[in-house]
Structure 1
Amino acid sequence: MKRRRRFLLMAGVLALAGCAANAPPQPASSLQLPSGWRAQAAGAPAATDAHVEQLWWQAFGDPVLSDLVGEALARNGDLRVARARVQEYRARLAQADANRAPNLAFDGSPTRTRTLASSGKPYVTNIFQAELQASYEIDVWGRLGNLSDAAGESYRAEQASLDAAALSIAASVATSYLNLRGLDAQLALTQSTLQLREQSRELARKQFEVGYSSRLEWLQAQSEYHAAAEQVPQLQRQIFEQENALAILVGGNPGAIARGLPLAELAAPGVPAGLPSELLRRRPDIARAEHNLAAANASLAATRDQLLPSFKLTAAGGGQATTLTDFLHAPTALWRLTALAAGPLFDGGRVQAQTDAAGAQRDQLVYTYENVVRNAFAETENSLGAIYRLQQQAVENDARRATAADTLRIAHNRYRNGYASYLEELDAQRTLYSADVGLLQLKTRILVASVDLYRAMGGGWSAKVQ
């Protein structure tokens, strides 16, 4: 007999479980992880062990840069908004967890009424009552647990969003600072070139006045001087705007920015050739996509179970009396205990439609996760390729600059000895200046590409090299 009752109970539970809405299956993943990187830094040794280094900006060795990044992480307005969102989702998680706990409430109600008796005479009645109420929903199907899991995953997704924002802000500060040092170097080069152009202009003027050169050469020297002078306020404007943008990034008002190492002393950190693809799992945007997908699966399970009945227990106990003295010393004890089972009988397909919508949202997050991972691989490949190609370009630029410097030396000697016109020297000056500017720009771009690689890998790396 007992076995039969157990069988009937199990059959009833299974029948009720079958009332849940049908949840669509999760689509199969189409991700294929690459076995290695297409691009690698030239001459880099293989890494046997690597892990993400959080304070990656310190690898540039500039204390001012480190201070700026630290200040931005503490004061940046976007990060303050992200931290507030984390607090919001932490509160939502606490609310979801609280729904799984018993609920206790207190109710006290002293009442004084004046009514009519059957004889038609009015009389006054006092009632003093207090009651303690408790209720608890039995999570038979795990719906409340799924809602709590969804809230927990959403909270962790917001934590990952905060990490992503911090990584982006740190990379933006580093990029802005390195660009600023690059502009400073270009301004110093331009001002130095302007002094040389002024000396050349004076030499051309003197030679024109004594008849050694034509007016054309003097005018050309003046034109080259003003061309160099024109670059100075342009670069000063760019530096001014870059300082203001960087000041906003670090959470301050527009203003001047302190300087650390000059561009010539800044060096891009070495890149181990064996950077494993597992480092990308530390990217906060990938972690955020994973947690959002997990939250969607938990929400889908909770939505699917809305058609199942819910079971609640409620209990109340208290006392009641007609006088305050009796209520305080010997009230009449009252209690009640209720078991409630409730569930929908017909909803016109509302829950199934909600389940289908939740499943479609889950599928969107699956595809979003795959897109985020693919984008992470592409960003890493692009950054590695940029560093490698820029390093190759820098080698060619060094050779071009050496040739341009030698050409200028020969042209200057020929001009001073009367074997060539000043236009030949001016042309050599332009070529050398262009090579010098290109060198500074390439140095800046290599440094910025290193920052992009740090961002793509979700931070820095510390490798043991054999």
Structure 2
Amino acid sequence: MKSARLTKYIIIASMPVLLVSCFSAKEYVQSDQAVIEDRAFRTDQLSQDSLTVAAVSWRTLFTDPILTQYIEQGLDNNMDIRVALQQIVAAEAYLKQGKAGYYPTFSANGRYTHQELSKNSPMGALVGSSQDQFELTGSLAWEADIWGKIRSNKRASEASYLQTVAAHHAVKSRLIANIASVYYQLLTVDEQISITKETIATRENSLETSKALKEAGGITQVAVKQTEAQLHTAEAILVDLNNQAYLLENTLSVLLGEMPKARERTVLDNQKISTELVVGVPMQLLSNRPDVMVAELELRKAFELTNVARSSFYPSLTLSATGGYQSLDIDQLFSANSLFANLVGGLAQPILNGRKIRTQYEVSKAQQEMASLNFKQSVLTASKEVSDAVYSFGTATEKIAIKEKEYEAYALATEYSQELLNNGLANYLEVLRAQENALNSSLDLANAKNRQLQSVVDLYEALGGGWN
């Protein structure tokens, strides 16, 4: 009999093991969408090794001492950075809660009850009209993780925590790029302001020369007014440039977490990028780009929450225990006769619940699919941004060389035409046209230099540089 009874118990005890093997939570496997091929970047500048500019510290990439000082200040004071850090603190609290899911819950309770009983009731006739009861109890409850529900919740909490860390990295990388970008724009506007001021001074001299030539009968009043109009055009450009510089200073101040004020800076010609701009192997994009990390971790979290929703279809096994002291007399509360204990084991299987479990499962599956699509989109966007930045750097470098030659030609044309005009051998319209072309070319050259610097910043951010 003992043998048969023991065999029966063994068979019953083995049933949960079989069920676990059939219905346990699935393991997350990185999606094929994470694979980035070489052709995604549309460039022949891919390295054959793991070197990438993203691994370079921003202190090494950006050599301007004032810019590096601003970046350090922004990382310390910027509001977005500080908000991201608090999000990490909150996510860490949820992570600790998820890890505690395996442990039983325990609660203690002290209670005093006073009852006024009817004398005509059976209880009132037995114990009297009133009754006092004192209790001091403790309750312990634990749920067995048969279907991996607690484990999946824990993994979802871990993914959520890592998301906030990656989001902080993304904010940091974006902040560094924004500070550098605004700083370079300021230097460009400063360069254009300097060019425009020189142009205004030159045109003021040209206006005086034109008035003298008119008095000598060399040109007409129309030519004088055309020269004057050119002067006012340059003055209007200067007003716009000063306004742009003022707004950029305010933008930079906000990025640094300070009230708007004037900002110190160097000059555009001092900006040198000595770091070799190597993209690295394509798969590094996943380990460097914080936004791609965030998207993949969101997919992982959605996957684990789908496991949780799936496990709700199956029965839950719970164990609970309650014990303590209970007495009608407080003096006897802690005596051995006041002790009591209850132990309950339960197996609950949902059957009809208004379709809540089915709905939650279908919603979690849809959210998982949305997370998968968002992850794929983030990979596509990342590859596009790298491709754009690499190509833009090449074209900006090429354009600088062309614009330098263009400016030299226009500058000489302006000089020659002015000399010819002074000697009565040229039309004043040729001088005006040459001066206008020279100004536009010099402004475009400054923009081309800025575009080259901006493409470096864009590439650094596109590769996920700055946060590590």
Match of residue 284, structure 1, among 270, 281, 290: 290
CA distance in 2, matches of 1:268, 1:8: 72
Instruction: Name the CA distance, whole Å, in 2 between partners of 1:180 and 1:74.
Output: 22
Match of 1:206 in 2: 212
Residues of 1 paired with 2:149 and 2:202: CA distance? Answer: 79
Which residue number corresponds to residue 192 of structure 1? Answer: 198
How far, CA to CA, are the matches of 2:105 and 2:56 in structure 1?
A: 43
Q: Contact 1:51/1:279 (CA < 8 Å) preserved in 2?
A: no
Match of 1:325 among 312, 321, 331: 331
Conserved in 2, the CA contact under 8 Å of 1:112 and 1:127? yes
1:387-398 equivalences in 2 (<5 Å): 387-398=393-404
What runs of 5+ residues in structure 1 fail to find an aligned partner? none
Q: Please tell me the residue identity of whatever aligns with 2:137.
A: E
Shift, 1:179, TM fit: 0.7
Give the SS at the match of 2:136: strand
Partner of residue 432, structure 2: 426
* CA deviation vs aligned residue, 1:102-141 (integer Å, no higher than 9, x gap): 1111111133444355559954433222112211111122
Change (3 A) 1:217 1:416: same
Task: Tell me the residue number matched to 1:275.
Answer: 280
Equivalent-residue separation in structure 2 for 1:423 and 1:149 (angstroms): 75
Asked whether 1:383 is paired with 2:385, we answer no
1:66 partner amino acid: T
Aligned pairs (5 A) from 1:20-419:
29=32, 33-35=36-38, 37-39=41-43, 49-50=51-52, 52-53=54-55, 55-56=57-58, 58-117=60-119, 123-259=129-265, 261-273=266-278, 275-281=280-286, 282-328=288-334, 332-347=338-353, 350-419=356-425
Q: Deviations over 1:28-60 (max 9, x none)?
A: 73565222643367xx99876347337426522
1:52 is paired with a residue whose SS is helix
Alignment-mate amino acid for residue 375 of structure 1: T
Is contact 2:137–2:323 with CA below 8 Å preserved after alignment?
Answer: yes
- How far 1:380 moved relative to its partner? 0.2
With over 3 angstroms needed to count, the CA separation of the structure-2 counterparts of 1:154 and 1:3, relative to structure 1, is same
Measured on the aligned residues, the alpha-carbon RMSD in Å equals 3.0
Single out whichever of 306-315 and 25-34 deviates more from structure 2: 25-34
Displacement after TM superposition at 1:194 (Å): 0.5
* Number of residue-to-residue matches in the alignment: 457
Range that drifts further, 94-103 or 296-305: 94-103
User: Given that residues 320 and 333 in structure 1 are in contact (C-alpha distance below 8 angstroms), is that contact kept between their aligned partners in structure 2?
Assistant: yes
Change (3 A) 1:61 1:172: same
- Tell me the distance in 1 between the aligned counterparts of 2:79 and 2:335: 60
Query: Does the residue aligned with 1:277 lie in a helix, a strand or coil?
Result: coil
Give the AA of the match of 1:35. D
Distance of aligned partners of 1:134 and 1:371 in 2 relative to their CA distance in 1, 3 Å threshold: same
**What amino acid does structure 1 have at the position aligned with 2:43?**
A
Offset, 1:408: 2.2
Q: Does 1:447 pair with 2:453?
A: yes
Q: TM-score, with normalisation over the residues of structure 1?
A: 0.88
What letter corresponds to residue 392 of structure 2 in structure 1? A
More deviation in 364-373 or 323-332?
323-332
SS in 1 for 2:102: coil
Report deviation, 1:233. Answer: 1.0
- Closer, same or farther: CA 317–4 of 1 in aligned 2, 3 Å: closer
Would the aligned equivalents of 1:16 and 1:308 in 2 still touch at CA under 8 Å?
no
- Using structure 2 for the length normalisation, give the TM-score: 0.88
Paired residue type of 1:196: T
Q: Conserved in 2, the CA contact under 8 Å of 1:47 and 1:273? A: no
Distance 1:19 1:49 in 2: 44
Task: Give 1:285 deviation, angstroms.
Answer: 0.7
Residues 1:10 and 2:14 aligned together: yes
Match of 1:110, as an amino acid?
Answer: Y
Whether the 8 Å CA contact 1:47–1:274 is kept in 2: the answer is: no
- SS for the counterpart of 1:110 is strand
Contact kept? 1:20, 1:307, Cα under 8 Å:
no
CA separation of 1:380 and 1:131: change in aligned 2, threshold 3 A: same
